[in-house]
């Protein structure tokens, strides 16, 4: 279907296809959710996944797809049956060597997972967020001030990227040089969850300098003595985790802490520029900044998909799935499931969004969600206070990634309040 997609050759497809063929009464869909064509407009295919059954076979990749909120939520909250230790991308770690040493949180299961997770949860806790709030809010105000001078700019590069880049690396305590590796590195990580297509191949082929820089940046001696990175290493000093584990946990922060917030903030800006009523509500009450962000996460689902692998035979709705099968969760489809969300295709910042799966759910739910919310809240509040209107003045350019949904460029014009 897509111009850059390719079958996932190199995987043990044959026996999985056979096991599916024996259950040929079950729904199957010939879609490629990792193709450029799909990324351009994912909603018709997502609706097909959601409406064809509680689980749908995708013969192209020999995986099960799940798009209904109820089942995605159930899978996310049942790590015993739907494990992460065999990888949360298409690649099955039981059959294939991972492209990098696995993450200690994302690609593990309890109880092993919980020890590392506890360290990150503490480093990214509400208490720590309180300590970052004032400096983040000042940085947001300074950035909005500069943009008011420009009037016309790219809301992705100059705002959605510029803001997290101005606060996150410093909060972690990163070196000043080489930060330009961060976004390309994250792009590799999130492309690598997809199939062996052009996006993934090219990303990995170009990854070496980014991987090398990130590995160095994760070391204790390359992190500031005060900061989120140092706090992770303090857990190693205390003997709670080993030094190499601390480095791998810092790597999680660098992999998942920047590109995701860029896409989350970008999603909120894109929504607010397209839905003037929502923008007016936010202007009238900047306290809605957090709600505006949360609804943008539901509406756009910047992290679109993750896989799990079944540890036993299991029934999803009325579909039986064998052991050792990859299950592709469509977080974006679940977040627009009309069974769960009234008017799901409307961006409504007064909606009760609690329970959306844009940050996942269960033991692997995004550990940096509080940091993402803090960044977005202070930025959107600063915009709402200083800007009267935000208008799109050129064609938005979509970014293509196997996991992340977002824009490469969003030309906008702002008017001061």
Partner 1 sequence: MPKITYIVASGATTEIDVASGTSVMRAALQTGVPGILAECGGNTMCATCHVYVEESQLSLLSTMTAEEDALLDGVAADRRPNSRLSCQINMSPVLDGLRVYLPERQT
**Within 10 A of 109 (CB to CB), how many other CB atoms are there?**
17
Is 129 a binding residue for partner 1 by CB under 8 A? The answer is yes
- Cα separation, 292 vs 278, whole angstroms: 8
Total residues at the site for partner 1 (CB under 8 A)? 23
Cα-Cα end-to-end distance for the chain: 47
Strand, coil or helix: what is 316? strand
Q: 3 to each of 140, 198, 404, how far by Cα in Å?
A: 39, 9, 18
Task: Give me the least distance between CB of 161 and partner 1, in Å please.
Answer: 24
Is 373 a binding residue for partner 1 by CB under 8 A? The answer is yes
Is 184 a binding residue for partner 1 by CB under 8 A? The answer is no
Q: Which stretch binds partner 1 (CB under 8 A): 12-20, 47-55, 315-323, 359-367?
A: 359-367
Is 362 a binding residue for partner 1 by CB under 8 A? The answer is yes
- Contacts of residue 346, defined as CB under 8 A and 6 or more positions apart, other chains included, come to none
Is 354 a binding residue for partner 1 by CB under 8 A? The answer is yes
Query: Which of 359, 375, 379, 401 forms a contact with partner 1 (CB under 8 A)?
Result: 359
Is 204 a binding residue for partner 1 by CB under 8 A? The answer is no
Residue 224 exposure: Cα atoms within 13 Å on the Cβ side = 11
Q: Write out the H or E segment, with its range, that includes residue 392.
A: strand 387-392
How many residues appear in the chain? 417
Longest CA span, the chain: 65
* Nearest CB to partner 1, comparing residues 122 and 179: 122
Query: Which of 115, 122, 340, 398 forms a contact with partner 1 (CB under 8 A)?
Result: 122
Is 294 a binding residue for partner 1 by CB under 8 A? The answer is yes
Q: Which stretch binds partner 1 (CB under 8 A): 122-130, 220-228, 381-389, 398-406?
A: 122-130
Q: Which stretch binds partner 1 (CB under 8 A): 42-50, 118-126, 240-248, 396-404?
A: 118-126
Is 398 a binding residue for partner 1 by CB under 8 A? The answer is no
Task: Give me the least distance between CB of 353 and partner 1, in Å please.
Answer: 8
- Contacts of residue 107, defined as CB under 8 A and 6 or more positions apart, other chains included, come to 84, 85, 87, 88, 93, 98
Distance of CA 168 to the CA centre of its chain: 16
* Nearest CB to partner 1, comparing residues 130 and 146: 130
- Cα separation, 138 vs 210, whole angstroms: 30
Query: Which of 15, 21, 130, 315 forms a contact with partner 1 (CB under 8 A)?
Result: 130
Task: Give me the least distance between CB of 287 and partner 1, in Å please.
Answer: 9
Residue 284, judged by CB atoms within 10 A of its CB (0-12, 13-18, 19+), counts as exposed
Q: Which stretch binds partner 1 (CB under 8 A): 104-112, 124-132, 167-175, 334-342?
A: 124-132
Q: Which residues bind partner 1 (CB under 8 A)?
A: 121-122, 125-130, 290, 294, 352, 354-356, 359, 361-362, 365, 367, 369-370, 373, 377
């Amino acid at each position: 279907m897509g111009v850059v997609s390719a079958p996932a050759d190199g995987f043990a497809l044959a026996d999985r296809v056979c096991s599916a063929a024996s259950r040929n009464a079950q729904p199957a869909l010939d879609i490629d959710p990792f193709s450029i064509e799909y990324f351009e407009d994912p909603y018709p295919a997502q609706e097909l996944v959601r409406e064809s059954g509680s689980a749908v076979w995708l013969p192209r990749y020999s995986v099960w797809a799940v798009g209904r909120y109820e089942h995605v939520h159930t899978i996310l909250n049942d790590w015993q049956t739907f494990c992460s230790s065999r990888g949360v991308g298409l690649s099955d770690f039981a059959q294939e060597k991972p492209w990098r040493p696995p993450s200690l949180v994302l690609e593990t299961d309890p109880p092993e997972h919980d020890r590392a997770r506890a360290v990150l949860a503490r480093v990214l806790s509400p208490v720590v967020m309180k300590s970052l709030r004032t400096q983040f809010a000042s940085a947001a105000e300074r950035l909005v001030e500069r943009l008011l001078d420009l009037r016309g700019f790219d809301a992705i590069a100059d705002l959605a990227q510029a803001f997290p880049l101005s606060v996150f690396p410093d909060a972690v305590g990163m070196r000043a040089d080489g930060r330009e590796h961060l976004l390309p590195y994250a792009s590799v990580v999130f492309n690598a969850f997809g199939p062996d297509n052009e996006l993934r191949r090219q990303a990995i082929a170009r990854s070496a300098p980014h991987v090398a820089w990130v590995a160095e940046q994760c070391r204790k001696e390359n992190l500031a003595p005060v900061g989120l990175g140092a706090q992770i290493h303090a857990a190693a000093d205390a003997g709670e985790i080993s030094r190499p584990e601390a480095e791998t946990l810092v790597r999680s922060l660098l992999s998942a802490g920047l590109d995701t917030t860029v896409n989350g903030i970008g999603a909120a800006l894109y929504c607010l520029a397209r839905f003037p009523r929502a923008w007016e509500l936010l202007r009238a009450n900047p306290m809605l900044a957090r709600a505006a962000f949360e609804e943008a996460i539901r509406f756009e689902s910047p992290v679109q998909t993750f896989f799990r692998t079944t540890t036993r035979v299991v029934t999803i709705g009325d579909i039986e799935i064998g052991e050792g099968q990859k299950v592709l969760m469509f977080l974006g489809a679940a977040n627009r499931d009309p069974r769960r969300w009234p008017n799901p295709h409307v961006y409504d910042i007064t909606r009760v969004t609690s329970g959306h799966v844009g940050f996942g759910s269960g033991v692997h739910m995004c550990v940096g969600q509080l940091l993402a919310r803090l960044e977005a809240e202070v930025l959107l509040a600063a915009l709402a206070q200083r800007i009267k209107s935000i208008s799109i003045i050129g064609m938005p350019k979509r970014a293509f990634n196997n996991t992340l949904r977002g824009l490469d460029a969003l030309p906008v014009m702002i008017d001061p309040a």
